[in-house]
Amino acid sequence: MKKIKVKKRQLKIKLRKKVLGHHAKGVIYDTENGMILAPIDDYTIGRYLGFKGGWNISEIKELLTYIKEDDTVYVLGTHIGTLLVPIAKKCKAIVGYEANPDTFGYVSKNVLINDLDNATLFNYAVGDAEKKISFYKNTLNSGGSKIKPKKDSYLYSHDNPDEIQVDMVRLDEHIKKESLPSPDCIIVDIEGAEYYALQGMQDILKDAKMLYIEYVPHHLKNVSGVSNKDFIDLIVPHFDNVRFVGKKKEINIHDSQDEFLAYLDTLFAGETADDLLFTKQK
């Protein structure tokens, strides 16, 4: 992100605070996602909710073609709930994890605002072990908050995020500890920590029918510091098919695993992000 763009966004946030008052902390938007309370400092999502009336609506519609009303859905990286809220209305139960304590407060309130009685939320990062981790708490794009990258970049620290300590849990163990229902569908959007989360959820992936996960090359390289093969080796044993949602490309993993890796390598080389939707044969 260019420095001049960041400065413009910061000026717009200052103007918003001047209009609404310095005691204003959030804004409620009536959107296609539901009634959503968002941080006043978050220029990225606030602009979309306020002027477009929704956030990632096409992504939600895609997911809902796979999610059934009797499913239990896990959302790793709920942010403020723009995805969790509409999906909760279409499934039996939903379990959300959000590491950022600030955005966790917003998703908790959005569950209440939308009268959801089937949502269970946890203020934890999801990863490979139960431990404390360093975490970047961004403001201009709070959805970009992430575990501290192995290799930092202006992309991650352009708004001078606070570095805090948050609790991480290993999902396989946390589900047992809390006596939670096993997930039918898992949605993962945790800004580069996907590799660590996958390490800690190998048991539940065996029975999950669907995994929807963000793929961003610079996150793999800089945040977790792993290769495409490291990443897919934790997924391939559990699923049969993958759909590249943005590219509208589908591959049978077991028949064409080399094709799958080669295509990922092409995206990696071109710094091209996409969302990957993994399913099992019926």
Write out pLDDT tens, residues 138-161.
988 889 999 999 999 888 988 889
Q: How far apart are CA 222 and CA 88, in angstroms?
A: 33
The pLDDT mean for the chain works out to 92
One DSSP character per residue, 138-195 reads -STTGGG-EEPPSS--HHHHTT-PEEEEEEEEEHHHHHHHHTPPPPSEEEE--TT-HH
CB neighbours of 128 closer than 8 A, spacing ≥ 6?
170, 196, 197, 199, 200
According to the model, what pLDDT value does residue 42 have? 83
Question: Residues 81, 120: contact at Cβ < 8 Å?
Answer: no
What's the average model confidence in pLDDT over 266-280? 97
**Residue 177 burial by CB count (10 A; 0-12/13-18/19+): exposed, middle or buried?**
exposed
Distances (CA, A) of 166 to 98, 128, 214, 245: 10, 14, 22, 31
Residue among 99, 65, 55 nearest 212 (CA): 65
Tell me which amino acid residue 254 is. H
Please give the Cα distance from 17 to 19 (Å, whole number). Answer: 5
- 40 in Cβ contact with 102 (< 8 Å): no
* Confidence (pLDDT) at 218: 96
The residue written with tokens 């499913």 in the block is 71
pLDDT category at 86 given cuts 50, 70, 90 is: very high
CATH topology of domain 57-279: Rossmann fold (3.40.50)
Using DSSP's 3-state secondary structure scheme, residue 37 falls into: strand
Looking at residue 153, its pLDDT comes to 87
The DSSP code for 272 is -
pTM of the model as a whole: 0.93
The number of beta carbons lying within 10 Å of the beta carbon of residue 4 is: 8
* Tokens 């908050």 belong to residue: 145
Is it the case that residue 3 has pLDDT exceeding 70? no
Please write the tens of the pLDDT for every residue from 189-226.
Answer: 999 999 999 999 999 999 999 999 999 999 999 999 99
Higher pLDDT, 180 or 15: 180
pLDDT single digits (tens) 14-66: 666 666 667 777 899 999 999 999 998 887 898 899 999 999 999 999 999 99
